[in-house]
Every structure is written in C-alpha cells, then in structure tokens.
Amino acid sequence: MKRLIFSIILIYTSLCALAQGDSITLADPTIFKDADTYYLYGTGKANGFGVYTSTDLKSWKLNELNALTKGESFGTSGFWAPQVFKHQNKYYMAYTANEQIAIAEASSAMGPFKQQQLKHITLSGKHIDPFVFKDTNGDFYLYFVRLTNGNRIYMARLNNNLTDIDSTTLKPCIAATEIWENTANSNWPVTEGPTVVKIKNRYYMFYSANDFRNIDYAVGYATAPSPLGPWKKYKGNPLISRRITNQNGSGHGDIFKGNDDKWYYVFHAHNTNSKVGPRKTALIKLKLTVDGNFETVPSSLRYLKNQ
C-alpha cells in the first residue's frame, strides 16, 4: 500500500512538473513582438542565439533551430545580449560577440540571421549590449555600452543601411554616479543593458547598474527630451530590484508593449540566493502614471517556462 501511494505521489509530481514546464534560463533577455507573436531571445548558447515563441506571454516554445548560428555572422564566442527589430520587411539582430557589436539580417524573426560579410561595427575598443531605436521621424540610433573606465552607455546614429554607425555622432549617455548604481564601490562602475522607448514627446532609457554578479544588480531609467539626451535619471530608481522581486541580481532586460496594450519588462535574475547562473528569465508588468513615471506591478511578476 505504501509503495502504491508513493508511486501515485511520484507520478503526480512528475505530471505537475511537466505541466509547469522547464524554467527558461536566458540572461539579458529581449522580447520582440511581430503581429500577435512574441519572440524571446537572450544570452544562453555558446554558438549563437536560440528563439522562443509565444502568443500569450505564458506558454513558450523553443524553436529547434538557432535564430543566429556561429559562422553565419560575426563572432566566435561570447554571444551576448541580442535585440531584434524590423525595418522595410526585413528583420535585424543587433548583438554582442567577441566583445564587439554586429548587426545581422533575416527574412523572418525566427532567423536565420546572417551577414554577407562577417564584420562588427567600426569603433575602437570593446563595446557590448546593443539596442537599436527607431525614432518617429525615421532616424535610427544605436545605444550600447563602451568598456572604458567602467561600463558606460553611449549612443550613435546608424547609417542608412543599418550595418554601421556614424562615429562622428558618438555621444556618452549614462555612467554610474548614484549610490544604488555602485553598491560595491567598485573601481569599475557598471551601467549597461540600455533599451529605449518614446512616449509622446519623451524618451525613456531603461538600464541596469552594478556588476551582474552583485545581488544589488538592478534596473533604473532616465528620461530625455531628445534621443541625444541629456538624460535625467528618475529619482525613484531603482525601479526593479531584489526589493521588488525578492530575487538577487534582477536586471538587464527589455521594455515592450503587449497585445493588451500594457507595458512589460523582461529581465533575468540569479538562479538562487547562493548561485548566479544559469540566470532565470522573468517578466513583470509596468504601469505609466499620469505624471509620466513608471511603476512596477509586483503581483504580475512571473518566471517564464518552456512548455
């Protein structure tokens, strides 16, 4: 009888685990919405980037093929922080590899994203965490991180074919200057993971601060009257942190609007309180107040599962 009860419990537990699915463990996640389908990408593979799809932000399915594969675009290692955008019926992926930034093309959001010439953008030094923003007037800007006296967020205009930057427009945006942004008092302060949206005539840049291994890794935002800045940090930062999520290392994600016309932020968190990776992928709803500030909806927080 005891064996039967144990077997029933074991089967029930297995079925529950199957129903819940496996946790998605993409760091630096981004969600791109095309029509009614969501595409989820992030850091997690040594040979490129995979892609998950969903129609409801709850049930996710991993595609069998990579969205981008090493050898078909720039890079041999360190495939980090992708972002996908669409322009004139083409899909583009901006991403990091070999601590450089490259942009590949595809005919579908599923990929495969490729380059005819395997190259990175023309800029000296090391640079990571790209985000391409298209303004309402049609201009494209690349926001990214330069590794120079810390991780600092910069921007530059993209050229017309969206393959490189106009280096004459290079401009700094944000560096770690606030207490919450460098809780370890590091000699190499970190601000990274920029993502930009425009709401009415105001530009919002979400970004993360602290080393990603730090339990205080968190998300804040700044606003500006122009994509060029100047950027003013929100006084209520950090917006997303372990105080809100109860999970260490909550940060580096992407803001997007869902099919319900609500704002969401996808991000990663440490695996456990004692283990950083593999980092878990999470989603939280945001609310824009009447005075133009963002707030989180803590009850909406959930971790993404592969069904």
Strands (E) in 162-279, as ranges, are: 171-174, 191-199, 202-209, 218-224, 232-233, 251-257, 263-269
**Catalytic member of 164, 192, 216, 254:** 192
Given the residues 28, 164, 181, 254, the one annotated as active site: 28
Residue with tokens 């005919």: 107
d(CA 170, CA 260): 36
List the one residue out of 94, 99, 204 whose CA is nearest residue 158.
Answer: 94
Half-sphere CA count of 76, side-chain side, radius 13 A: 0
Tell me the backbone φ, ψ of residue 2, rounded to 5 degrees. Answer: -60, -40
Q: Helix, strand or coil for residue 223?
A: strand
Q: Which among 296, 299, 271, 301 has a CA at the least distance from the CA of 283? A: 301
295 labelled catalytic: no
User: What are the φ and ψ backbone dihedral angles of 265, each rounded to 5 degrees?
Assistant: -130, 125
Active site residue 135: no
Tell me the catalytic residues. 28, 192
